Structure 1
Amino acid sequence: MTHSRSYELSMTTQGPLYPPSEVMNADGHFVVIGGINRARSAGEVATEWGRALVAADSVLPPFGTNAPYRIVRELPSALSAKDAEMVLCTLPLPLPCSNYTAVMAPEQQPDPFSVVRPSHPFHQVPIPDLQPEDGPKVTEPVTLGQWVKARGRLTVTVAEEGTAADFRGTFHGLIPNSLYTVMAIRRRDLDPDGPSHPSPFGVPNVFVADEEGNGSYYARLPHPFPAPGSPAAGNRIVNFVVLWMSYQMSYGGAVGHHGLGSDIHAQLRLPTPGFGEFVTHP
């Protein structure tokens, strides 16, 4: 019998918890929609889904641990007109408030931590080799009010007698006429003793949102859900992330050269690790 389930994807601006967001505003604050670290009694830190502007100089703990974010101000679920008009920007390089040590593209960009780059408004990112006459499609500011319209649904179906799974996503409210990619988060990517770089969710892992911001994606992955405790358990997929590509580029077997808000920007994902009900075999 076919094993299938559908999931609603959550709109976000966040990949891992550090850096706190993959989106900044023009003031250099992280625009966080996702897990927010807050101080609790007895020195504890709680991570709860929310919305806030977070300071770039927030305390940075070792990878795998959390510290309270320094919150500039909360963002209400119903954005004010001023907040809806907030212009969104990339993160600068080196990445602020980042403790993720994995190299995103070891063959293409083996020394990414030495690169220095300013933050750019999304519509003014210096796309390599672009000429004005080439017809860039993202030419107006991308605003927070536009970003939060994103919605998505993912259906996972175990296929090939349990040796593979099909992933079908449909998306709405995306940034029109722009490049998106899809990233897999595997259990090994979250290993505090040495994270690996996240991988594409199939290759090629791209789709282009149409003029109304709609898109779809399909991939069949071999053995994506090894049993917990098995030798291959680190390869187990635990999340499906839709990334807006500010440089309008894809990177083959990598998801970006620098990742984490410099050239990729998570917009839709599961709010917590998922797919625990599935098990596949080689």
Structure 2
Amino acid sequence: MTIAPDLTTASERAVVPETPAPATPMTRTYDLSVTTQGPLYPPSEIVDANGDFVVVGRVNRPGPDGATVSEWGSAVVSPDSPLPPLGTNLPYDVVRELDFADPTGPDAQVQLYTLPLPLPCNNYPMLFAPEQRPDAHDVRRPSYPLHGAPIPDLREEDGPKVREPITLGQWVKARGQLEVHVPAHRRGADFSFAFTGLIPDSLYTVMSLREHDLDPAGPTRPGPLGVPNAFISDSNGMAHYRATLPNPFPAPGTPGANRVINVVVLWMSYQQNYGGAIGHFGLGGDIHAQLKMRGPSFGEFTTGPAN
């Protein structure tokens, strides 16, 4: 039998495309940091009995050459601190530094309160629940102890679970770990959380922060990380939560892209979930950040649309 010769040249054979290697899944694990802070204004989503902000997070302080330096720390901050436009920072008026390393010390015993409405020292003009509460900016309410926030329609006989004052020492015991998994198809991402040290028997929610949510030129509305985004801590302060988001990490430069860059775990003082909104008043009025990443994250991931 005669075998026909191969008349293709080496260069012609070289241009035959190879089958691309299949994409591989990616998984990363992150430790969340305990906080009382969302954005830098208001400086905290928690105040004390005097109405001063209890800040665990980035504290704005004077820096060299008149600059403002924001470094992670803890302090009591005056609500009369100077308020700059959204996207800029000024040094906080620090009343005193905090030390809650000693669980029996005075700072650990500080009782925590919601922010009053309208929110003090706030430069974020966002309406968080435009369909449910379009008048949110017009509501006026005092500050309440976290355990005594006025839960709508509550009757004592219905058995409220959170009855004791919540202290700073209790608040900072929270720990959380997040696992992010992007499957090989890259059309979405799975977020899985494990928590310890939370306030027991409480309603929590998880929100996503996207890269344009704090854009001074046109901030987008922060949204839930999954819907429903609620979970309840058990009697020991332990909990788990998971969610899957479609295309949370579009490639930078993609038209209309708004990547998830952080996640925030919120203690809900009104013990309510708000569907597609993160809260009615936000930023310490009815939601209170307790765990988050310290800065923008997830840059190692890229996802795409379903089609």
Extract unaligned runs of 5+ from structure 2: 1-23
**1:104 is matched with which residue?**
128
Once residues 134 and 221 of structure 2 are traced to their aligned partners in structure 1, the CA distance between those partners, rounded to angstroms, is 12
**1:268 is matched with which residue?**
291
State the identity as a percent: 60
Runs of 4+ in 1 over 3 A off after TM superposition: none
Task: Report whether the alignment pairs 1:181 with 2:205.
Answer: yes
Q: 8 Å contact 1:51–1:77 — kept in the other structure?
A: no
TM-score (norm 1): 0.98
Q: 1:39 aligns with which of 35, 48, 62?
A: 62
Match of 1:12, as an amino acid? Answer: T
- Quote how far apart the aligned CAs of 1:160 are: 5.8
Once residues 195 and 48 of structure 2 are traced to their aligned partners in structure 1, the CA distance between those partners, rounded to angstroms, is 25
Q: 1:54 aligns with which of 56, 70, 77?
A: 77
Once residues 226 and 29 of structure 2 are traced to their aligned partners in structure 1, the CA distance between those partners, rounded to angstroms, is 19
Task: Report whether the alignment pairs 1:117 with 2:134.
Answer: no
5 Å-filtered alignment, 1:82-97, equals 82-97=106-121
- Quote how far apart the aligned CAs of 1:41 are: 2.1
- Per-residue CA deviation, residues 51-73 of structure 1 (Å, 9 max, x unaligned), is 00000000000000000000000
Task: Report whether the alignment pairs 1:192 with 2:254.
Answer: no
- Per-residue CA deviation, residues 237-258 of structure 1 (Å, 9 max, x unaligned), is 0001100000000000000001
- Per-residue CA deviation, residues 161-197 of structure 1 (Å, 9 max, x unaligned), is 0000000000000000010000000112021112122
* Count, aligned residues: 281
TM-score (norm 2): 0.90
Give the alignment's Cα RMSD to 1 decimal.
0.9
5 Å-filtered alignment, 1:201-280, equals 201-233=225-257, 235-280=258-303
Helix, strand or coil at the partner of 1:89: coil
Q: 8 Å contact 1:226–1:232 — kept in the other structure?
A: no
Helix, strand or coil at the partner of 1:213: coil
Query: Rg bigger for which structure?
Result: 2
Q: 8 Å contact 1:102–1:194 — kept in the other structure?
A: no
- Per-residue CA deviation, residues 8-61 of structure 1 (Å, 9 max, x unaligned), is 000000000000000001011100000110011211000000000000000000
Once residues 140 and 13 of structure 1 are traced to their aligned partners in structure 2, the CA distance between those partners, rounded to angstroms, is 19
Q: 2:36 aligns with which of 1, 6, 13?
A: 13
